[in-house]
Chain A
């Protein structure tokens, strides 16, 4: 690993001020992607600004039909949260599937979203559940957040502070993990929006392409009939899909339908608070 200047600011505003002054600074959240990247010398930032000492960035609150998760909340804490289990059980189940137990005790939701790894789990939940990403500057709708491979709508220096999920009527997640890394070969989250949010079904796919995306054919079919049978015959195009030693594009395309069916079968609704 190349050396760098390390900063551990207390106030949030100091973190963004520090980054603005750096030649090539990066934020450090849980470090479960960044530190591995630095070790492999795939990145050489001049400065690392650790968000670990900033108060108020971690925690989970459930109120008014929305569950809010602070950006520095660990995957393990989302997986173990009673509020998450009550409100959106599929979100807790997804968090419990990320990486391995050690990754879940360092990795954070904000770090995962800011990184936007093509095979990360959280982007599927955020997109399928129409969550909002709150930053130190603005609120960004999930549909506008994920741009491309490792690319998001975040401006340079912008910091995710929390993510708010409106409670869905139902939601389910299924993934086929790579057995070595436990990243999603393909993961599919389905969400049925609450009636007061316009209803409708959203299907988000991670692991298959360069970036998480919605699957409109499945959304239309599931809006008519929320059953695995309704999407069974949908053939997903493998155009621009990921194709590597772990699985061909064609294989991943097939997995999308298989995982979507499992996600529908797994979909459950929590009791409303």
Chain B
């Protein structure tokens, strides 16, 4: 069964007709061509598909697109200012917070939401904030360093 939905994605108004069962991540990747949110596990455990819905970080594989009529969605593609990376992206680059990069979009989106909520987290709070984001390469150390550096830079 199809439904017409209107939402804002990365600041742009979008109107699409979707099946009731279409997941947000599938709308983003397959219809809108925004392939930054990755489908890592498809069981809502890895966090590679994290995006912001109305300012809150959620797994886009665990939300139906049709639930989000009227919502504001921001993906990893929507955070840079033109050619200038978002400070969190710059911090991940600076501190080598990635290796293969597959988890990185979700990590960055979770990290931005974490600092929006708690601008000066402790290392422990950063690690707790990443509880829903899995990385199989880095051992997390440089990711945590990058987020701490981004927080320090903003103060």
Where the two chains meet, the residues of A that have a C-beta atom closer than 8 Å to any C-beta of B are: 1-6, 8, 28, 31-32, 35-36, 38-40, 48, 50, 52, 76, 99-103, 105-106, 180-182
Contact = CB atoms under 8 A, between A and B. Distances in A.
Contacts of B133: 100
A35 B20 contact: no
B90 interface: no
In this complex, the interface size class of chain B, counting residues with CB under 8 Å from chain A, is 20 to 34
Interface string B34-73: 0000000011110100100000111101111011010000
B28 interface: no
Contacts of A8: 66-67, 69
Contact of A31 (B62, B114, B132): B62
A99 B114 CA distance: 16
Q: For the complex, would chain B's binding face be called helix, strand, loop or mixed by DSSP majority? A: mixed
B1 A102 contact: no
Please provide the 7 A-B residue pairs with the shortest distance between their CB atoms, ordered closest to farther.
Answer: A100-B132, A6-B20, A100-B131, A1-B21, A105-B56, A102-B132, A102-B59
6 contacts: A2-B21, A35-B23, A35-B62, A35-B64, A100-B133, A101-B131
A243 to B, nearest CB: 23
A181 B45 contact: yes
B19 interface: yes
Given A4-B20, A5-B20, A101-B114, A106 B43 contact: no
A4 B1 contact: yes
B67 to A, nearest CB: 6
Nearest to A104: B132
Q: Which of A5, A6, A39, A40 has the most CB of B within 10 A?
A: A6
